[in-house]
Structure 1
Amino acid sequence: MSEVSLSDPPRILSIAGSDSSGGAGIQADIKTITMLGGYAMTAITAITAQNTTGVAAVDALSPEMVAAQIDACTGDIGVDAVKIGMLGSPAIAAVVAERLEALGVPVVFDPVMIASSGSLLASAETIAGFERLMALATLTTPNVAELAALGGDAGMAARGVAYLAKGGDAEGDVVEDRLVLPRQQAVVWQAARIVTRHNHGTGCTLSSAIATLLGKGMAIEAAVTEARQFVRAALAAAPRLGHGHGPLGHHAVR
């Protein structure tokens, strides 16, 4: 990779699916990375036809095309951190892991399985392919359902990986997120729930924000702290679009 001066924006590569309605996926990542002062690059894994009410169709790209996008970005511009979101197929998961193992930069893996609307975005075979990605990731960011599917805290502890257990999907007036690093005491954040149906793309936004801040050189705990603040500000600024789970207000965060 080429040298980066202190004045250069961190180069952040998002490997994820496209959300045609702009609320989640690649589109949410680009907005987040840009608002946090990063330079956004993308490797699109799948094209979705979706909006705030659900996912109507998904077409995964070929593993070769995903790999070509990653190579095009890293071979020319370089990369300081990577965010992984929706993968689309087991073969894509494998080729992404292969490419990232050679990069040696922070990787934030959001193990996307189900959209906010409840639509399934990963097959059982794709989820099985997550193991290699969790092993190489700097941080994995499962929500409540994803953590359960991955074996809960016991399953993550057995893997010996760092993870952020997100509590936004849990019940209650207080949202609790837990950062668990191997052989360290968990760090816990608690905050009053922002009650809104306009929460499409919160997981994508959080993971890409953490990746951007890691790309700036922040430590994990500081990056999570600032990324959580960004997500909460974007939730509060949601433009109230659509008839279902509307998008966040990335554009309004200052």
Structure 2
Amino acid sequence: MKIVLTIAGSDSSGGAGIQADLKTFEAFGVFGTSALTVLTAQNTTGVTDISPISAEFLKAQLDAVKDDFEISAIKIGMLFSNEIIDVVREFVQDLKIPIVFDPVFISKAGSKLLNDDAIENMKSILPYATVTTPNLFEAKEMFGYEVQKHEVLESKLDSPCPVVIKNNIVEMNDMKTSVDSLIVNKERYYFISPYEETDNTHGTGCSFSSAIAANLALGKSLKESVEISKKFIYKAIVNAPNIGHGKGPIAHKQGVESCH
């Protein structure tokens, strides 16, 4: 069985972060291990408290997993602080396995979750990543990437690793669609799904990046992994359980069952 490691924060509501990653790994048939970077008290309506993990304890978690398991891929999520970023960069820099970096530092609403100096430090992980998966706000902050509202933009992008820019909402044939762009050097690939008007989107970014990591661990190409993960997220949203009073979680198991 392939083993995948997620390095990310904890979501007490179970819909995002480490919990979403582990559910995604399980759904795709890989074994999930984890190293926590931050604890959050949250539910579908928001975060009420945060308790950081020390850099020393994060390193202990990483070493414990690495010493006992043959890791086939890594997903990196929320890193929270400069000290955490430094530990993660040191851990991954000599590894020869797929690394999916979801740079969780600006929310879907556009609010920054990291200080500016930590954002700059976080970019130092990019040269070691197989792919990074920013949202539109993060892509603008990291690469100066601009989007247009009504068409897919052929924007230049300077990145040391391939990039998937997520969820550009585009009108196509009088229908709203969600377009993800995979940019590898000068090549660009588009993955399109219908856009669902729903509140059940909690943890979609975490689950998308962990799905890519799981499929890379299973031997799929980067393009195949993104394509499968895009379909998985759409089906998981459509089959969401409709729980909670805010942004509800998605259906990880049903998403995988529907995308085969």
Length-normalised TM-score, structure 1: 0.90
Mapping of 1:33-72 within 5 angstroms? 33-72=25-64
- Secondary structure (helix, strand or coil) at the match of 2:178 reads strand
Partner Cα separation in structure 2 for residue 21 and residue 161 of structure 1: 32
2:34 counterpart letter in structure 1: T
Deviations 1:73-109 (A, max 9, x none): 1111120000000011111011101011122110000
Cα deviation, residue 132, structure 1: 1.4
Contact preservation (8 Å) 2:98, 2:130 = yes
Partner of residue 187, structure 1: 189
Native 8 Å contact 2:55 2:83 kept in 1: yes
User: In the TM superposition, what is the alpha-carbon distance from 1:115 to its structure 2 partner?
Assistant: 4.0
Structure 2 counterpart of 1:162, which letter? P
Aligned to 1:112: 104
Quick one: which amino acid aligns to residue 30 of structure 2? G
Pairwise CA RMSD of aligned residues?
1.8
Match of 1:5 in 2: none
Match 1:204 to one of 176, 199, 206: 206
Mean CA deviation greater in 238-247 or 203-212:
238-247
| Uncovered stretches (5+) of structure 2, i.e. residues with no partner | 147-154
Instruction: Work out which of the residue numbers 217, 234, 237 in structure 1 matches 2:236.
Output: 234
The match for 2:139 among 147, 154, 159 is: 147
* Partner residue in 1 for 2:167: 167
CA distance in 1, matches of 2:157, 2:218: 28
Cα deviation for residue 159 of structure 1 reads: 3.1
Question: 2-side partners of 1:231 and 1:75: how far apart?
Answer: 32
Gapped runs of 5+ residues in structure 1? 1-8
Quick check: 2:123–2:142 contact (8 Å CA) kept in 1? no
CA distance in structure 2 between the partners assigned to 1:16 and 1:248 by the alignment:
18
- Equivalent positions of 1:4-43 (< 5 A) are 9-43=1-35
- CA positional deviation for 1:171: 6.4
CA separation of 1:44/1:21 partners in 2, compared to 1, >3 Å: closer, same or farther? same
Report how far residue 250 of structure 1 moved: 1.1
Evaluate the alpha carbon distance shift between residue 34 and residue 153 of structure 1 in structure 2; reply closer, same or farther with a 3 A threshold. Answer: same
Report how many residues are paired: 244
Structure 1 residues 89-128: aligned runs within 5 Å: 89-116=81-108, 120-128=112-120
SS in 2 for 1:122: coil
Letter aligned with residue 177 of structure 2? V
Hey, which of these two has a bigger chunk of strand by percent? 2
Question: What is the rounded CA distance, in whole Å, between the counterparts of 1:117 and 1:50 in structure 2?
Answer: 17
